[in-house]
Amino acid sequence: MINESVLRSIRFIKSAKDLKGCPAPDLPEVAIAGRSNAGKSSFINALGLSLVAKVSGRPGKTRLLNFFLIGDHYRLVDMPGYGYAARSGAEVESWRQMVESYLALRGSLQGLVLIMDIRRQWTAQEQELVDWVSQRSMPVVVVLNKADKVGNNEKAKVLRDLKAKAVGVSQVFVVSASKRLGVTEVEEFVFKNWIKQRHGGEA
């Protein structure tokens, strides 16, 4: 049997600075959020390597919504990172406006993948984002990245703490984007539970 993921590929489509610039909402979408430096770009690139095609031509733009097509089934939407301490109030506000309007108004959105550095604490900012999304009845999974940086005991402790603190998260994955470990499993979960089941998408 051919693995479903082999029949999928990932390709950069376009960037948008606001909702008006987004592609027509004719395919389901999955948003990827995370603090700056959590490894969102690395995660998407690792996925590109495991899903047949390489992610090429990906713009280094951090303030835009970047759209990637996965096979013919759905799009991943890489959202601008949050949490740069150096950012001004106006910059934070423009980030908030873009992200909140996308999350609130994009009818094709199916769920959120929140990428975190496994060494960072779950804060009110992460919980706020999850609350925002779950209020709209959309599922959230957390991806703890940079697992290669911690030992097994630390991993177990982080998972325990996260389960105690994070409210409204349906699944937690532990991955290493740079070592390409666990990345495909996240995509498979998203495809199976958020795309295929709800849309009857065939692989």
39 binds ligand GDP (CB under 6 A): yes
Which x/- pattern, by CB under 6 A, does the window 133-162 give for ligand GDP? ------------xx-xx-------------
Give whichever of 4 and 117 is closer to ligand GDP, judged by the CB atom: 117
Instruction: For residue 71, state whether it binds ligand GDP (rule: CB under 6 A).
Output: no
Q: Does 36 bind ligand GDP (CB under 6 A)?
A: yes
Q: How far is the CB of 45 from ligand GDP (least distance, A)?
A: 7
Q: Which among 27, 20, 45, 2 is positioned nearest to 187, based on CA atoms?
A: 45
> 163, exposed or middle or buried, with CB in 10 Å at 0-12, 13-18, 19+?
exposed
In 3D space, the residue among 158, 170, 130, 119 whose CA is nearest the CA of residue 31 turns out to be 130
Residue from 80, 115, 78, 76 nearest 95 by CA: 80
Work out how close the CB of 183 gets to ligand GDP at its nearest, in angstroms, rounded to a whole number.
Answer: 9
Considering the rule CB under 6 A, would residue 34 count as an interface residue with ligand GDP? Answer: yes
CA 48 – CA 203 distance, rounded (Å): 17
Q: Which window, 37-45, 67-75, 160-168, 192-200, contacts ligand GDP (CB under 6 A)?
A: 37-45
Q: What are phi and psi of 121, to 5 degrees?
A: -75, 150
Quick check: helix, strand or coil at residue 59?
coil
According to the binding rule CB under 6 A, does residue 41 interact with ligand GDP?
A: yes
- Residues of span 88-107 touching ligand GDP by CB under 6 A: none
Q: Is 28 in the site for ligand GDP (CB under 6 A)?
A: no
Could you please report the per-residue DSSP string of 18-43?
SGGGSPPS-S-EEEEEEBTTSSHHHH
Query: Site residues (CB under 6 A) for ligand GDP?
Result: 34, 36-42, 81, 145-146, 148-149, 176-178
